[in-house]
Structure 1
Amino acid sequence: MKIIECPRDAMQGKDEFIDTAIKAAYINQLLNIGFDTVDFGSFVSPKAIPQMRDTAELLDLLDLFRSRSKLLAIIANTRGASDALHFEEIDYLGFPLSLSETFQQKNTNKSIAEALETVEDIQNLCETKGKELVIYLSMGFGNPYGEAYNGELVAEFVNKLNAIGIRTIALSDTIGAASPALISSVFQLNVETYPQIEFGAHFHSRPDKVEEKILAGIQGGCRRFDGAIQGHGGCPFATDELVGNVATEKVIEIIESQGFTLGLNMEEFHEAEKLAQFVFQ
């Protein structure tokens, strides 16, 4: 069972710029906890996401020698991928691919067809550099734009990504609309069909719906969950202001209640919780 902590997702929507030294102190604390991966930054246009303009600078301030956690950076095009691949410290690149044509245009200014071509180009770059490409399949459990959505569509996208050689796919409940039954069935179908692919869950949710979504993911065979301490960040397109990232502390509680051992240093986790109150004040 893997937990991916996402300070990048938590920070990127804040209007006020968080000082680079503060970001580094927070992420260094997260690196002490023992998460499988920390989604720490992104190589995208500073105009699109000003909060992430210091990602390269941030890398110089991270203490990776004592940490077992891997680093993930989000990219949205081949230029961003090329920039990220210059850094040996980064293990994973994450690319947002959407089942929704409308959302793909909003998110990366590309059509789905163009985005798939970009995915293939980036996958080739990653293979030459020994990195792994993680695809975040947004609108993975529903579509608010009136476009077609069903479980077969998800499987169709997964099949295309499998053909390209993608081995990690995070199914994303972008607007927090997924029902437990849908979550369980979508994961079960794809986990059973593509055992060579690691499927993760990037859920957005109202706080009172987190438990049922995590349990449904586990039931469907998901063993990789994203979270953000205290539930900071989330999707600006959600119509419910209570919908945001799932709180990592809640994810840990739910997963451990099901008998899984995560091996996290909870003393360090509680220190990170204290620091988060300062970072996100």
Structure 2
Amino acid sequence: MLHANIPYLCRKKVKKIWKEQYAVNWDDISLDGKLSLTGLNIMLQRAATYHAEHLGFGFTQTSVYNASWVLFRINLELIRMPEWCDQVVVETWPRVVKGLAAYRDFIVTTPEGEVLCRATSEWFIIDLTSRRPQQIEKYVDVELYTMPTAGSPTDLSAEGMEVGKPTDRQAVTRDIPTLSRNTDYETLFEVIPKYSDMDMNGHTNARKYFDWLTDAMHQDNGKLNPTFVQMTYFSECTLGEHLVIQRNTSEKGLYRGQKTAHDKTAFVAMVEMSNGG
């Protein structure tokens, strides 16, 4: 049952599709002058955060119950990375709840509508004491979170939704690769999360993993032209934990972060490169 104090918002006032426009700033770009993976993910996280707050189930609301959203997986289909000073529009919407996971999708475009990136993501709500996933329905009105399917009533009057338009849209329509279970890894470098890497959930912010991945990709083959990236977050990284960032020796484009204290996987990333990279 939905917590009674979490507000149900009148659907006529709700924006079920959220848009934010950003400039690609100096600190968003990498050495090649293009938006970095970290910069892109900061923009996506920011838009998702603002939208969840608007819908009434953001951190402001869930924290009252000692709970918070955490990102479990994100798939990025990268068509073209914008450059310094470009303007981009991030469009996001909550798509569906399945079991303990809530799915949120994104499309990043130029102001003129050219698609630059498509993304789909999976989120959990965890109890901040037990650190275990909770039933989404306790904190979220699932009807607000679910986009209507083709043929369903279209009287939502929500900004960004066209009457009669199928809105069960999944941004990434390509086949999503299955996560490899290959365990043939070798270490590239070591990291220790610092205070500046932490967020209010008490663990390393999801964006930092993309810093580690970018450095691993560069050290591995010197090429940073990915067309697809999947990042799966398996275990929280807390202040001062020691990790080794590794590449798979059997499968190209497969990386992971391994916590050394208990030999536990923190993340696995799969990367596809253009031009045979």
- What TM-score does the superposition give when structure 1 sets the normalisation length? 0.27
More strand by share: 2
More helix by share: 1
- What TM-score does the superposition give when structure 2 sets the normalisation length? 0.27
Larger radius of gyration: 2
